[in-house]
Structure 1
Amino acid sequence: MIETGITPDFVVVDGAEGGTGAAPLELSNSVGMPLREGLIWMRNALVGVGLKDQVRLGASGKIHSGAQMAKSFAIGADWCNAARPFMFALGCVQSMECHTGHCPTGVATQIPWRQKGLVVEDKAPRVARFQKQTLHSLREITVAMGLDSPWDIEPKDMRERINGARSDAIAQIYTFLEPGCLLSRVVEGQTGLAWSMAQANSFRRKQ
Structure 2
Amino acid sequence: MVGLQDEVERFNNLLLSLPHKYKIVIAGNHDLTFDLKYQENLVRNFPQTSDVNAAEIKKSLKNCIYLEDSEIIIEGYKIYGSPWSPTFFNWAFNLDKGPDIAAKWDLIPKDTEILITHGPPYGILDLCYDGVHGGCEDLLGKVLEIKPLIHLFGHIHETYGVMNNEYTTFINGSNCTLRYDPINDPLVFDLPIKK
Task: Output the TM-score relative to the length of structure 1.
Answer: 0.28
Ranked by relative contact order (alpha carbons within 8 Å, sequence separation 6 or more), the top structure is 1
Greater helix fraction, Structure 1 or Structure 2: 1
Larger radius of gyration: 1
Structure with the largest fraction of strand? 2
Please, what TM-score do these two structures have when normalized by structure 2? 0.29
